[in-house]
C-alpha cells in the first residue's frame, strides 16, 4: 500500500465519519432510501474490497520480504551454527590436548621426584664412601708416617750396624794383617 492510497483512504474515512457532513437533497427528485442505502452500501463495499485488496497486497509483499529475510538470516544462522560446531570441536580438542599435557606434566614431575630421590641416595652414598676413603687415607697416612719412623729407626740401626761391622772388619783385618805380618816375620 503506497502513501497516496493510504491518504485517500484516510480522507474518505474522515469524510464518512464527519458529523458535519450535510447531504443536500434535490427536492425535485424523490428520495428512495433503499436506493440511497444501496448506493452507500455499494460504495462501502468498493472501499472495503479496495482496502482488502490493498491490505492483501501489502501482506503478500511483507510476507515475501520476511521470507527473504528469514532465508538470509537462516543462512547466517546456519553459518553461525557451523562456526559454533567448529568452535566446540576445537574446544574439545584443546581440552583433550590439555588433559594429555597434564598427564605428561604429572609423569615428568614423578620422574623428576624419582630422579631427585636417586640423586639424594647417590649423594649420601658418595659422601659415605668419601668419608670412608678419607678415614682410610688418614689411617694410611698415619700408618705411612709410623712406617717411615720405623724405617728411619731401622735405617739408623742398619747404619750403626754397618759402621760397627765396618769397624769390626777393619779391626779384624788389622788383627789379621798384624798376625800375618807377625807370622810372616816369624817364618822368615
State the residue for C-alpha cell 482496502.
Answer: 51
Burial class (CB in 10 A: 0-12, 13-18, 19+), 54: middle
Whether 8 and 54 have beta carbons less than 8 Å apart is answered as no
Q: Give the mean pLDDT of 51-57.
A: 85
- Rounded to a whole number of angstroms, the distance between the first and last alpha carbons of the chain is 184
Question: Residues 57-70: pLDDT tens digits?
Answer: 888 888 888 888 88
Question: Residues 94-110: pLDDT tens digits?
Answer: 999 999 999 999 999 99
The pTM (predicted TM-score) of the whole model is 0.40
Amino acid at each position: 500500500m503506497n502513501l497516496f492510497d493510504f491518504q485517500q483512504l484516510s480522507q474518505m474515512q474522515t469524510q464518512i465519519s464527519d458529523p458535519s457532513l450535510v447531504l443536500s437533497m434535490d427536492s425535485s427528485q424523490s428520495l428512495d432510501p433503499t436506493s440511497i442505502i444501496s448506493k452507500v452500501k455499494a460504495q462501502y463495499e468498493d472501499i472495503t474490497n479496495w482496502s482488502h485488496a490493498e491490505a492483501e497486497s501489502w501482506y503478500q509483499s511483507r510476507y515475501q520480504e520476511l521470507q527473504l529475510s528469514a532465508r538470509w538470516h537462516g543462512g547466517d544462522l546456519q553459518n553461525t551454527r557451523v562456526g559454533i560446531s567448529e568452535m566446540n570441536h576445537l574446544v574439545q580438542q584443546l581440552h583433550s590436548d590439555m588433559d594429555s599435557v597434564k598427564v605428561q606434566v604429572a609423569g615428568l614431575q614423578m620422574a623428576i621426584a624419582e630422579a631427585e630421590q636417586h640423586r639424594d641416595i647417590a649423594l649420601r652414598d658418595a659422601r659415605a664412601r668419601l668419608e670412608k676413603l678419607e678415614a682410610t687415607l688418614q689411617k694410611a697416612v698415619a700408618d705411612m708416617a709410623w712406617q717411615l719412623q720405623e724405617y728411619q729407626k731401622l735405617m739408623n740401626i742398619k747404619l750403626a750396624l754397618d759402621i760397627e761391622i765396618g769397624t769390626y772388619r777393619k779391626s779384624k783385618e788389622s788383627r789379621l794383617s798384624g798376625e800375618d805380618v807377625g807370622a810372616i816375620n816369624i817364618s822368615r
